[in-house]
């Protein structure tokens, strides 16, 4: 499954956004409102704050729709920690740690380090959350 990726960059950081897996948790908007403003076009302004602040905010993104590269290095995560799986209240199953999702034939459809999996059954991008749980009033 090829996901559309939109890139925003300056000399310090490149930010990637995958709208198809965004679950609209708004951690980015809350963490760095001058960088992530859905009312503006483009909605990401990487010049509005330091790369360090932007990276800290992106680290809060539960779906991993946002990611970054700084100074040519891919974001590093601590792989010695166990994979954490948690339930978001009235929302998806959050996975924080290396994972691989395979289809019924054993083909890899996604590898990553963070993801949000649909728990409400309403996503148009199963098995991933697409934010539909909010509009259908999922409780759980």
Q: Which residues bind ligand FES (CB under 6 A)?
A: 23, 91-92, 118-120, 122-123, 129-133
Judged by beta carbon, residue 58 or residue 118, the one nearer ligand FES is 118
Q: For residues 106 and 91, what is the distance between their CA atoms, to the nearest angstrom?
A: 27
β partners of residue 13: 70
| Minimum distance from residue 129 beta carbon to ligand FES (Å) | 3
| Minimum distance from residue 29 beta carbon to ligand FES (Å) | 18
| Minimum distance from residue 25 beta carbon to ligand FES (Å) | 10
Chain-centre distance of CA 53, in angstroms? 17
Judged by beta carbon, residue 97 or residue 122, the one nearer ligand FES is 122
Q: For residues 40 and 109, what is the distance between their CA atoms, to the nearest angstrom?
A: 32
| Minimum distance from residue 4 beta carbon to ligand FES (Å) | 18
Judged by beta carbon, residue 64 or residue 119, the one nearer ligand FES is 119
* Exposure of 18 in the CB half-sphere (CA atoms within 13 A): 23
Helix (H, G, I), strand (E, B) or coil at 81: coil
Structure-token pair, residue 104: 């019924």
Judged by beta carbon, residue 26 or residue 69, the one nearer ligand FES is 26
């Amino acid at each position: 499954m090829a996901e559309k990726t939109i890139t925003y960059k300056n000399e310090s950081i490149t930010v990637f956004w995958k709208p198809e897996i965004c679950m609209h948790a708004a951690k980015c908007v809350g963490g760095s409102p001058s960088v992530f403003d859905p009312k503006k076009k483009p909605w990401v302004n990487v010049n509005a704050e330091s790369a360090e602040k932007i990276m800290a905010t992106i680290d809060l993104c539960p779906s991993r729709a946002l990611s970054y590269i700084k100074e040519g290095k891919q974001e590093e995560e601590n792989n010695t920690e166990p994979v954490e799986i948690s339930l978001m209240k009235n929302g998806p199953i959050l996975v924080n740690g290396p994972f691989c999702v395979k289809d019924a034939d054993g083909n890899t459809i996604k590898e990553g380090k963070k993801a949000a999996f649909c728990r409400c059954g309403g996503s148009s991008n199963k098995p991933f959350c697409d934010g539909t749980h909010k509009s259908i009033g999922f409780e759980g």
